[in-house]
Amino acid sequence: MICVGIEGTAHTIGVGIVDGTGKKCNVLSNIIKIYRPKQGGIHPREAANHHASYVADLIKESAEKAQVDFADIDLVSFSKGPGLGPCLRTAATAARALSLSLDKPIMGVNHCVAHLEIGRGTLDGCKDPVLLYTSGANTQITAFAEGKYRVFGETLDIGIGNCLDKFGRNMGFEFPCGPKIEELARKGKKYLELPYSIKGMDIAFSGLLTAAEQYHKKGQRLEDICYSMQETTFAALTEVTERAMAHTEKNEVLLGGGVASNKRLRNMVQIMAKERDAHFFAPSKDLCIDNGAMIAWLGLLMYNSGIRMKVEDSFIDQRFRTDMVDVSWRD
């Protein structure tokens, strides 16, 4: 069975095609185009205009790359939420148009759940992980329990990626700023004390962001600030992930989201997993960031478990939470 997935929750418009004929997910193509604001953060309408101008070409390109005829497509999937309204509506509109023109079923899926399922679908041995999902807008620690992906911990304010991007933007770095911060952090020598805000199982980043900016005003080295930001935020994320693993008695940890490309974050989580005798998993970078293949794969899982969606019911949901989804495709 072949599914095309359209991702459009925020800065990225992505189209991926996957084959789910076997038990594992076979990614046939996965193309993305990122909206980069000239200045400031993401403007939802501008991002949506960007997505609208590229989505049709991406669908064609994705089919060519996958060497799939449109007639061979069995299902059209799209990111139903959570995300920015105008961006979600653009991806959903493209999916509806494609579904109607091909006369193939449509499926709206939860973006955060897709980040978890693509790990299970593509990585050998990844069966029941705790997911540490770290992206621009989202930061969540989730795991399967009693029919749902439960949120064990999450950010109380901004996402970790957003924290890094905001700091970087004020320093004049290009969006996305995570890679530049990682590069500078490698040259950091001195740890600067920053707020380590874990409240129960939840994390807050905005106080740390303010403190980091103050260090810059006081003339501290940028390398040391970036190093300290990474060490502090990643330690907090690793701590909550470890506690979720202990609580659920799971021995697999999976990374997802754009910040999971960061070598230091991977390294910290890897050490924690090793110390617990647990397995560490991280999808390839193109499947970690926002992408259409993960949307396609989750659409297939849902469709094959008997879930159906009519075009007239294919609404978007900006506040679509991970734990609102009934995970009927798992035991």
| DSSP letters for 244-263 | HHHHHT--EEEEESGGGG-H
Q: Which of 79, 110, 135, 322 binds Mg ion (CB under 5 A)?
A: 135
Helix axes 263-275, 222-248, angle to 10 degrees: 30
| 130 touches 142 (CB < 8 A) | yes
Specify the residue, 43 or 330, whose C-beta has the smaller distance to ligand AMP: 43
CA–CA distance, 20 with 275 (Å, rounded to integer): 35
Q: Of the listed pieces 106-114, 171-179, 231-239, 292-300, which binds ligand AMP according to CB under 6 A?
A: 171-179
As measured in angstroms, the least distance from the Cβ of 147 to ligand AMP is 26
Choice from 119, 161, 188, 299 touching ligand AMP (CB under 6 A): 161
Q: Does 177 bind ligand AMP (CB under 6 A)?
A: yes
Give the residue, chosen from 20, 108, 129, 136, that forms a contact with ligand AMP under the rule CB under 6 A.
136
> Which region among 38-46, 93-101, 170-178, 271-279 touches ligand AMP (by CB under 6 A)?
170-178
Stretch of residues binding Mg ion (CB under 5 A), selected from 32-40, 59-67, 222-230, 289-297: 289-297
In the complex, what is the shortest distance from the CB of residue 30 to Mg ion, in angstroms, rounded to a whole number? 14
């390398």: which residue's tokens?
223
State the number of binding residues for ligand AMP (CB under 6 A). 18
Residue 29, interface with Mg ion (CB under 5 A)?
A: no
Residue 113 · residue 149 · CB < 8 Å = yes
Toward ligand AMP, which CB reaches closer, 5 or 20? 5
Which residue's Cβ lies closest to Mg ion?
A: 135
Per DSSP (E only), the strands in the chain are 2-7, 12-19, 26-34, 75-81, 106-110, 130-134, 139-145, 148-154, 197-199, 202-204, 252-256, 279-281
Closest contact distance (angstroms) between CB of 25 and ligand AMP is 18
The contact pattern for ligand AMP, residues 214-253, with x = CB under 6 A and - = no contact, is ----------------------------------------
Contact between 182 and ligand AMP (CB under 6 A)? Answer: yes
The length of the chain, given as a count of residues: 331
User: Which value, in Å, is the radius of gyration of the alpha carbons in the chain?
Assistant: 20
Cβ–Cβ < 8 Å for 55, 13: yes
Neighbours of 311 (CB within 10 A): 14
**Residue 210 to residue 195: CA distance in whole angstroms:** 10
- Mark 249-288 with x for binding to Mg ion (rule: CB under 5 A) and - for no binding: ----------------------------------------
Least Å distance, CB 257 to Mg ion, is 5
Among 55, 259, 296, 301, interactor with ligand AMP by CB under 6 A: 259
- Are 140 and 151 in contact, with CB atoms under 8 Å apart? yes
* Cα 212 to Cα 218: distance, rounded to the nearest angstrom: 10
Find the DSSP H helices in 145-262. Answer: 160-170, 178-185, 206-217, 222-248
Among 257, 283, 292, 299, binds ligand AMP (CB under 6 A): 257
Residues 285-304 that bind ligand AMP (CB under 6 A): 289-290
Q: Footprint of ligand AMP on this chain (CB under 6 A)? A: 12, 135-136, 161, 164-165, 176-179, 182, 257-259, 261-262, 289-290
Q: Footprint of Mg ion on this chain (CB under 5 A)? A: 135, 290
